[in-house]
Amino acid sequence: MKNQIVNVASNELFAKEAYERAKADWAALESDQLLKVNLDISIAAQTILGALPEVRALRERIVQELPTFDAAEFDKLEDYVLGLVFVHARYVMATQPPDDLSELSSAASALRERLAADARTLSLRGLFDARKVAALKGSTGYRNVGIDLQSLSAELEAVWSEIEGKCATTREELDAAAQMAVRLLRVVGVRDQAPVVLAALVEERMRAFTLVIKAWEEARAAVSYLRRDQADADSIAPSLYTGKALRKKASEPDDETDSVPGAGSPLGGGVITSPSSPATPAAPAPAPIAGPAAAPLS
């Protein structure tokens, strides 16, 4: 009897569903509001999700004592975080090259050379049209190899009844050539489209990140006000810009573009430093939350 996988987290939320609920909110952000991604998203998400239960326990007091506090945004914070995790995971996948391109290219090139060699030999014996051999694109470039494989497979199959047994080529090789040609062109097409897909994901990830930072800093400001006498706000709602989530050290130079995530963190969230990010980012200043009698929030 096969072992069955038991879902021990069946009561958890789906990140994709959270994404669907949250994406309209970050899509409404103006471009000049967007923050650069300068935190380890996996660790930042872990920090917020871990702190949310204790922060939520203060919700009633926050709403009562800070009437201008955006409770609706606060209530969506978990969706915002999970939506960011979902977008980040897609971003990480989009930065990875097609897994089998190198292996596929090597096999396709080798098969092309064998079929082309047999086609030349057959043409010398008058069994294959030499003009079709001359029309081959060549072995340089993925597309050329793919087109040649498709052409050789089709043309050799067309005269198969005349050449079978008169060359080393097998029917299985012709089938393999036809399939490899399609696969090679498909993979190269995906690779060529990747920059367009990645550009869209880069912007969406920035939007999701901005919304999470804004909502979390607002929540932290409210907690700071309520817990000003106890001086324990940072332990309840910790800053994302200290400790593990802060990626960049002061000695590290700024990068001009997002770098490809490494494989070290749970979602592949290696160091990704965005354009113009400060070497040691300060937490974005939240919008003021009016307390009673204009009391300060810190």
Which residue do the tokens 């309520």 mark? Answer: 226
Instruction: Identify whether residues 90 and 210 lie together within a single domain.
Output: yes
In a domain, 9, yes or no: no
Q: Domains in the chain: how many in total?
A: 2
For residue 6, the model assigns a pLDDT of 67
Are 142 and 250 members of one domain? no
Domain boundary among 176, 192, 208: 192
Q: Is there a single domain that holds both residue 88 and residue 220? A: yes
Structural domain boundaries, residue 264: 15-98+195-286
Do 90 and 110 lie in a common domain? Answer: no
d(CA 151, CA 178): 8
Say whether both 176 and 249 belong to one domain: no
Is residue 4 one of the residues assigned to a domain?
no
147 lies in some domain: yes
Contact 109, 184 (CB under 8 A): no
- In whole angstroms, what is the distance from residue 280 CA to residue 242 CA? 10
Classify residue 8: in a domain, yes or no. no
- For residues 266 and 213, membership in a common domain is answered with yes
Per the domain annotation, does 7 fall within a domain? Answer: no
Instruction: Assess whether 210 and 255 both reside in one domain.
Output: yes
Domain boundary among 148, 173, 192: 192
Domain for residue 292, yes or no?
no
Residues 117 and 48 in one domain: no
Cβ-contact 217, 283 below 8 angstroms: yes
* 108/76 same-domain check: no
Considering 137, 170, 192, which residue would you say is the last residue of a domain?
192
Asked if 36 and 86 sit in the same domain, the reply is yes
Nearest residue to 69 (alpha-carbon basis) of 291, 298, 232: 291
**Judgement on whether residues 82 and 230 belong to the same structural domain of the protein:** yes
Cα 70 to Cα 152, 236, 288: the distances in Å are 66, 19, 11
| Residue 186 resides in a domain | yes
One domain, residues 112 and 172: yes
> What does each of the 298 residues of the chain score in pLDDT, given as a tens digit?
466 666 656 666 788 999 999 999 999 999 999 999 999 999 999 999 999 999 999 999 999 999 999 999 999 999 999 999 999 999 988 877 666 777 888 899 999 999 999 999 999 999 999 999 999 998 888 889 999 999 999 999 999 999 999 999 999 999 999 999 998 888 887 777 767 778 889 999 999 999 999 999 999 999 999 999 999 999 999 999 986 555 543 333 333 334 333 322 333 333 333 333 333 333 444 444 444 333 433 3
CA separation, residue 62 to residues 44, 81, 207, 248 (Å) = 23, 21, 26, 33
Per-residue model confidence (pLDDT) at position 285: 42
Say if 2 falls within a structural domain: no
